[in-house]
Amino acid sequence: MTTVRTFAALVLAAGSGSRFGGGKLLAPYEGAPLLHAALAAARAAPVASLTVVTGADAAEVGAAVRAFDPAIRLVHAPDHAEGMSASLRAGVASLDDEVEAAFVFLGDMPRVPHGVLQPLRRAVEQGAAAAAPVFEGRRGNPVVLSRSLFRDVAALSGDVGARPILQGLGPRLALVEAPHDGVLFDVDEPGDLPGLRR
């Protein structure tokens, strides 16, 4: 008998985008805000719920999320200035008790291949503590964290996300081959976005 596990998706959208010059997640990408492409990937994930964590520009980011889908849950990370770990902590802490694992998407990663999502889930269902995509030997995002790691997330600090947790897992981290480099591509500066190159 197979136990049906409840998976959730978190989209971390709390950063100020300082290297971009601000307003990064709202910058145009393929005719919509950049954040919408990340939300589309998260919505394609095999999950029961989707939560976006806001921080800097919370009102504007929240409005962009509602324009994409008013049903998406919003959670605010009041200590977002600390870095990515603050938004990850806030997102994981907001999850219901029945959630057994969480996909963690980054709001500035618009090209995540949807085909990698189901294999990531399957790896955790088969017993991995976490799963991450790889492309040409480089580990990318989104990652999936099982509930067994949620306590470790609560202890994170700084602008590192889940990296320290994943580095300590050894064989308990499943690596899933991705079909293209969308698991590595993120937007840091205006030149990373088509149409915004100086």
Interaxial angle between packed helices 34-44 and 58-68, expressed in degrees from 0 to 180 and rounded to the nearest 10: 50
Residues with Cβ within 8 Å of 135's Cβ and at least 6 positions away in sequence, in order, are 177, 178, 180, 181, 183, 184
pLDDT reading at 23 higher than 60: yes
Q: How far apart are CA 115 and CA 62, in angstroms?
A: 27
User: What domain count does the chain have?
Assistant: 1
Least confident among 13-27, 29-43, 133-147, 182-196: 182-196
The answer to whether position 193 is within a domain reads no
Q: How far apart are CA 178 and CA 116, in angstroms?
A: 6
Q: How far apart are CA 103 and CA 142, in angstroms?
A: 6
| Band of residue 195 on the pLDDT scale cut at 50, 70, 90 | low
The answer to whether position 155 is within a domain reads yes
* pLDDT at site 197: 42
CATH number, domain containing residue 19: 3.90.550.10
The answer to whether position 1 is within a domain reads no
The answer to whether position 160 is within a domain reads yes
The answer to whether position 198 is within a domain reads no
Taking residues 40-64, what's their average pLDDT? 96
Structure tokens at 114: 């949807």
Domain that holds residue 57: 6-187
Half-sphere exposure of 130 (CA within 13 A, CB side): 26
* pLDDT at site 196: 52
The answer to whether position 139 is within a domain reads yes
* pLDDT at site 1: 36
* pLDDT at site 93: 96
The answer to whether position 196 is within a domain reads no
The answer to whether position 114 is within a domain reads yes
Taking residues 10-17, what's their average pLDDT? 93
